[in-house]
Structure 1
C-alpha cells in the first residue's frame, strides 16, 4: 500500500499538563493564521485538494438546478402592511419585501444591491409596531458581526446606522417607533483582551440620537457569556428580559410594567431565576400572560397567569405536556365566537398543529397540513384575527407558505417558492434502531424507490444543543439520491427531537451517547442491507463536525469516507477560540477536572493514532468563521495526514470570504458539489447522473 505524500507539517514537542494528564499538542503552531508557516501550509493543502478532487461539474450543475426553486418566507404583519423574504431562482440571497396596504410590492433590503459581490448578508430584521420603520442587521463575508440600521419603510431611506457590535441582537420596538431596546457588546476597549465577543448589555436607543446617549437597562455585572432576549408587548405596556449563560438550556426571566416605570429604568420583577428550565412569555390581547416553558415538562407546556402575578406558583396548565410530541410554538386566534390557540408540535421530528379552546385548553381539532414535513412556526396578526400562516417543507417540497382560516377550518396554499424545478421521486422511511445501551433511536432513510441496497450511503447527524433534524427540501440530499445513493439522517441524543431530556442525554458527561447512537445507526444500515462499510460515508458540520471527528477516530473501520465541516475537534482548547466559551454549558470546561475527563475521553484531535487506516476525510472550513475557528480542522488534518496508514486521502478545503453559516447561493453550490464529489469518489457512487427526463424524476 503506497502512502500518500502530504505537505510537510512540523510536529513540535508542545505539551500541557492538565489535572495530572499529559496533553500533547504537536500542531499548536497552526493556531496562528497569520504566521508564514501556516500560510505556506494552507497554500500547499489547497493545491493538494484541487489535484485530488474529481467529478465536481456533474454535481454542481444538478445542485444549482435544484436550488433554482428559490425560497419564500412567512409574512410578518403590521396592520394591512406585510413584510416577507423571497429568493428568486437567479438570486444569490433572499430579498426583504414589503406589500403596502394598497397591494403594491416593493423591495426594502436587497443584499446584492447593497454589495454586488454577494458577500453581504441580511442577518435579521424587525419592523416597528406600526410598520413605518424597519430595523435590520447585515454583515459581510460571513463574519456574522452584524451592523444595525433603521430605514423608513415608506421612502426606503436609511434613517439610522450603522450601529456596530450587534451580533445576535433582538430588537424590541416601543409603540410609535421612537425607541427600541436592543443588545450590544461593550466596546473592545472596555473588556479584557480576548473577550471582545462577549460582555453583552441591553440598551434603550431613541431613534435619531447618538448611541453614546443610549441607556443601559440590563446586564451590567452579570456573566460575560450571557445572551439576552428582550421583547415588548404589542400594546407597549410590558417589557420582558431574559438571560442565559451561553447556550445553556435554561434562562432567567424578568418583566416590567412600563406604564408604572419609565422605559429607561424599568422596574423589573423576577419570573424565574436560578431555575434549570427554559421559559418564554407572551402577553395576550385578553390580558392574560401565556407562559411557554419546559419547567417540570421536558417536552414543554403552555401555562397561563396574570401578568401582575408572573411567578411559578401562579402558573396554571393550559396545554399540558404531551408524552410523545414536543411543543414548539403556538398562536392565538381570537376574532371568533370561540377563540382558539393553535399549537405546533413535532412528533418524532414530524410537525403537526392542533386546535385548542383558548379558555380551557381543550383540544377541539387539528390544522390540515400538506404532508409529513416541517412547519417553521405559526404567524398571527398582532391585532388578532381568524387567520394564521405557517411555512412548510419536506424532502421533495421547496418552502411554501400555508394560510389557515379558523372560521372554515381550511388550510390553503398562500405562497410558493418562485422557481419551477423537476424534483426526483424519492422514498422516505423512518426506522427505529437500538443504540449501544438499548435506547431506541429514530432515523430517516431517503432513497430512490426503484433501487435496492446495498448502495453508497451518506449518514448525517448533529446531536447537540437541542437542535432537531427535521425533514426539509435539500438540493444536496436530492442530488445524491437521484444519482443512486442513499441519504440517512439520524435523530441522535443531544438533539431536540424528543424534548429536553433527549438533549441532556447527549450533553456534558453524556456526550458519548451521541457517538454511540451514530455508530449504531451505521451498523443498522449495514445490517439491514442498505449499505456496506466500503460504501458508507459520514457527514456533519459544526457540532456535527465534532460528531464526524469522534466517529472516524473511534470507529475508523466502520466508515469509508468522512466530510467534516467547520468542526470542533480540539476539545481541550476549544473554549479559547471563537465563541467556544459560550458552549462549555453544552460540553464542559477543561478547567474543571471532572469535565476535562469528559472532553479528554473523546476529543478527536487527541485520539488520532499513528498506523491506523482512517477513512478518506475532507475537512471544509471558512476563513471568516467567527464561531468555530478553522484551526480545529487545520490541526486535525495535519495529525491525520501524519498518522494515516491507508491509501485514502486526507484533504483540506479552506475557503476565504466565507463564514460559519449564511453565504451566497453560488458558494453553497460549490461547497456542496465538492462534498458530494468527495463522498462519491470514496464510496463508489457511479460517475454518471441520471439523464434529464429519465423515469425517476417526478
Structure 2
C-alpha cells in the first residue's frame, strides 16, 4: 500500500539576531509526520509502530527524503540561533589544525603511515624508504570525491613492501572496494575487488595475491538495508578478475557466521576465525595453504570462548583466551600435536588483558587497570621482563610487528594530550618520540581525574572527570557533559578530542562513565550489562549523573548527556526513565527500536548483547526499555538532539527517524526535540574533517545552551 502523508512547511518567523537565553530559542513547528496505523500482536501484546514507513531507505523512498529535508530545516533554524555555535566552530577548527600521524608499519624496509596536515578532510598515506627516508605520498583520498566523503578504510602490505592492497569507503558505508597499488611507481593496478565488508586483508607470503572476506552481491535497492549472510573467504590472485577468485572457506551450513582469515607468520596456514554475533565466542580453523583441497583443521570448536590468534613461531601458535580466565590469559598450542592441548604462557591476572602482540621475540601485553593502560613485556616462556613507562593516565596501543622485528611503534593519548607516537626497542626497553603534535592549547591547563561511585545496586563504577585547573580549583559547579556507552565488551579509555577541549575552555566539565556492559573488567563486567542485565547499564549511567550533582561538580539543571550507537540507545533509554535528571541529550546514530533491530544489515549480530526480539523472554526485556516504544508522554523532557546520517548502513537511520517522530508527537514540555541528519556520512568512520567539526560544534552548542554553558572568550 502506498503511504501518503503531508509535511507542514517550517515556520517563517524571523529569527532574532541577538544572543538568546535557552528559553528564548524559537523552535519552528515540527513537520507533521504521518502515522500509517501499523501495529502487531506480539506475545499477547499490541505493539504500535506508526512510523514504520520511515524505515525505508532515503535513497529509495522520496517521501522519506522529503521528511528528512523538512526535519533538517527545523533543526537548522534552531541551531542557527545558538550563541555558542560560531565560537565553538572557530575554536574546534583551531584545535583540530595540528599535524597528526598514524602508527607506522614496516615491510621490506619501507615504512607506511598516515598523516594529516591538520584540516585535511581525509588523512593521506605516505611511505618512506628506511626510517629516516624522505616521505613520499602514496594515496590522497581527498582527490577521490568532490565532497571528500570517500575515505581510505585500511590497507595491507606485501612482506617485501612492493604492493599495497587498500580499501575504499564511500559516504560512510560499511561496504568496501579494494584496489591494489605498486608501491615503487604509485601505479594503481587493474585489480578490483568489491562486496567486501567486515573483512581483514592479508597477503600470501609470496605476494601473489591476498585473502579477503565478502558477502554475496545484493539485489537492487537492498545494498544498504538487507541482512548480511554467507560471509565467505576468497583468494584474489594479482592480475585476474574478481570472478576468478578462489573460494577458500565458507560455512553454508551456518550462513549467519562471519569468517575472517589471517595468514600465519610462516605462510603455511590461513587462520580462520568464525563468529556468529558480537560476543567474543569464536571457532578457529586452520586451512593448509600448501594443501588447499584438504579439510580445515578445527583448532577451537564450539563457539564457547574467545580464542584470538596472536602469532606463531614455527608450529607453536599463540592465542589470547578467556577460557577459564574471565580477565583473559595467553596460551599456546603445538599444531603438530594438537591432542596435547593448550599450555598457559601468561596466566590470568587481576588486570584485564586487552591484547597481545608477538614482536622482537617477546610478547607485548596490554592491560587495563581501572580503564587505564598498562603495558608489560614478557619472554616467550611467560616471564615478565619489564613494564613500559607511560606518561600518565591514558591509553596506549600498537606494538605491532613480526616476531623477528627488533623495533615496534606505539601511541599514547589522554583527554588532555593528543596522540604521540613512540618507537620502542624491544630488546633494550627504550622509547623515543617518533611524532609529537604541536597543539593550540596547554595540556597542563587541564586536570584529568578518576573517580568511583556506587550504582543503584551498590556496584562500584569508575568515572573519568576532566576540568580546567581553574574550574577544578574553584570547586564551582559547572555545566557538565557526561558520556557513556556500556555494551559489546567495548572499553572506554582516555582519548583526545579537540571538541572536548573547546567545551572545557568554555568553562564546562567532561565526564566518562565506565558502565557495565563494557570490557573494562573482563567478561563478568560485560555480562553484567547485557541481555537480561541491560537495565544495569542504564542504572549505572543514571547513578553517574546523580553523583556529579551530589558532589557539586554540576548543578541540578546543568547535566548534558551524550552517546553514540549503543550509546545512543543508552541516551534514549535513560531520557525516558529519568527525564528530570538531564538538561539536554545527544543520542547519536542510536539503536532506538529494540523490537526490529535484527532485521537490517548488521543488526542480526547484536542479539548477543540485546537478545532475540522473537523470543518471548527477551521480547519482554527489550520492550521495557526500547527508546522508541517508551517515550513518556506528559513529562517534561530535556532538550534532545538526535543525530544520524542518511547513509548509515550499520545502524540504519530509520531507528533515529522513528524515535524522533515519537518524541515530536508527544507532550514533552517546552524544550525542543530535533534531529540533525547528515548526508553521506554513515555511522561515523571516514567522516570528513569539516563535517566532523561542524557536527561537533552544533552538538556542543545545543547541549551547552540547554545545560547553561555561558559564552566566553576561547582559551587560546
**Do the aligned residues in 2 keep the contact of 1:258 with 1:266 (CA within 8 Å)?**
no
* 2:73 is equivalent to residue 28 of structure 1: no
How much has 1:215 moved relative to structure 2? 1.6
Instruction: Measure, in 1, the Cα distance between the counterparts of 2:571 and 2:254.
Output: 32
Match of 2:20 in 1: none
* The 10-residue stretch of structure 1 (88-97 or 399-408) with the greater mean CA deviation from structure 2: 399-408
* 2:666 is equivalent to residue 643 of structure 1: yes
* The 10-residue stretch of structure 1 (321-330 or 672-681) with the greater mean CA deviation from structure 2: 321-330
**Do the aligned residues in 2 keep the contact of 1:508 with 1:595 (CA within 8 Å)?**
yes
* The 10-residue stretch of structure 1 (599-608 or 194-203) with the greater mean CA deviation from structure 2: 194-203
Match of 1:670 in 2: 694
538, 542, 552: which one aligns with 1:529: 552
495, 500, 503: which one aligns with 1:480: 503
Match of 1:319 in 2: 346
Match of 1:695 in 2: none
* 2:585 is equivalent to residue 562 of structure 1: yes
Instruction: Measure, in 2, the Cα distance between the counterparts of 1:153 and 1:281.
Output: 29
Instruction: Measure, in 2, the Cα distance between the counterparts of 1:60 and 1:168.
Output: 34
23, 39, 44: which one aligns with 1:15: 39
Match of 2:373 in 1: 351
- Secondary structure at the residue paired with 2:622? helix
Instruction: Measure, in 2, the Cα distance between the counterparts of 1:377 and 1:383.
Output: 14
Instruction: Measure, in 2, the Cα distance between the counterparts of 1:658 and 1:423.
Output: 32
* 2:270 is equivalent to residue 247 of structure 1: no
Match of 2:74 in 1: 48
Q: Deviations over 1:645-686 (max 9, x none)?
A: 311011111111211122010000000000000011100001
Match of 2:393 in 1: 372
Match of 2:106 in 1: 77
Instruction: Measure, in 2, the Cα distance between the counterparts of 1:471 and 1:149.
Output: 34
- 1:193-592 to structure 2, matched below 5 A, reads 195=226, 197-259=228-290, 261-262=291-292, 265-285=293-313, 287-310=315-338, 314-334=341-361, 340-359=362-381, 361-380=382-401, 382=402, 384-417=404-437, 419-423=438-442, 425-451=445-471, 452-592=475-615
**Cα distance 1:139–1:6, how it changes in 2: closer, same or farther (>3 A)?**
same
Match of 2:211 in 1: 181
**Do the aligned residues in 2 keep the contact of 1:367 with 1:404 (CA within 8 Å)?**
no
* 2:651 is equivalent to residue 622 of structure 1: no
How much has 1:611 moved relative to structure 2? 1.1
- Secondary structure at the residue paired with 1:254? strand
Instruction: Measure, in 2, the Cα distance between the counterparts of 1:69 and 1:656.
Output: 26
Match of 1:680 in 2: 704
**Cα distance 1:434–1:507, how it changes in 2: closer, same or farther (>3 A)?**
same
- Secondary structure at the residue paired with 1:38? helix
**Do the aligned residues in 2 keep the contact of 1:4 with 1:647 (CA within 8 Å)?**
no
**Cα distance 1:283–1:681, how it changes in 2: closer, same or farther (>3 A)?**
closer
Q: Deviations over 1:292-325 (max 9, x none)?
A: 11111121111122122346x6111111111233
TM-score normalised to structure 1 length: 0.93
29, 37, 58: which one aligns with 1:5: 29
**Do the aligned residues in 2 keep the contact of 1:49 with 1:653 (CA within 8 Å)?**
yes
TM-score normalised to structure 2 length: 0.91
Q: Extract unaligned runs of 5+ from structure 1.
A: 335-339, 693-698
* The 10-residue stretch of structure 1 (286-295 or 393-402) with the greater mean CA deviation from structure 2: 286-295
CA-atom RMSD in angstroms: 2.1
Instruction: Measure, in 1, the Cα distance between the counterparts of 2:499 and 2:254.
Output: 40
How much has 1:565 moved relative to structure 2? 0.7
Q: Deviations over 1:53-72 (max 9, x none)?
A: 21311101111111112421
Alignment length (residue pairs): 680
Instruction: Measure, in 2, the Cα distance between the counterparts of 1:541 and 1:556.
Output: 19
* The 10-residue stretch of structure 1 (87-96 or 563-572) with the greater mean CA deviation from structure 2: 87-96
171, 176, 180: which one aligns with 1:146: 176
How much has 1:445 moved relative to structure 2? 0.8
Instruction: Measure, in 2, the Cα distance between the counterparts of 1:371 and 1:558.
Output: 33
**Do the aligned residues in 1 keep the contact of 2:360 with 2:403 (CA within 8 Å)?**
no
How much has 1:530 moved relative to structure 2? 0.8
Q: Deviations over 1:375-406 (max 9, x none)?
A: 122123x2613322111111122112112223
* 2:144 is equivalent to residue 121 of structure 1: no
How much has 1:195 moved relative to structure 2? 4.0
**Do the aligned residues in 1 keep the contact of 2:227 with 2:604 (CA within 8 Å)?**
no
Q: Extract unaligned runs of 5+ from structure 2.
A: 1-22
97, 105, 114: which one aligns with 2:126: 97
Instruction: Measure, in 2, the Cα distance between the counterparts of 1:275 and 1:19.
Output: 30
- Secondary structure at the residue paired with 1:379? coil
How much has 1:637 moved relative to structure 2? 1.1
**Cα distance 1:100–1:7, how it changes in 2: closer, same or farther (>3 A)?**
same
How much has 1:284 moved relative to structure 2? 2.9
* 2:657 is equivalent to residue 634 of structure 1: yes
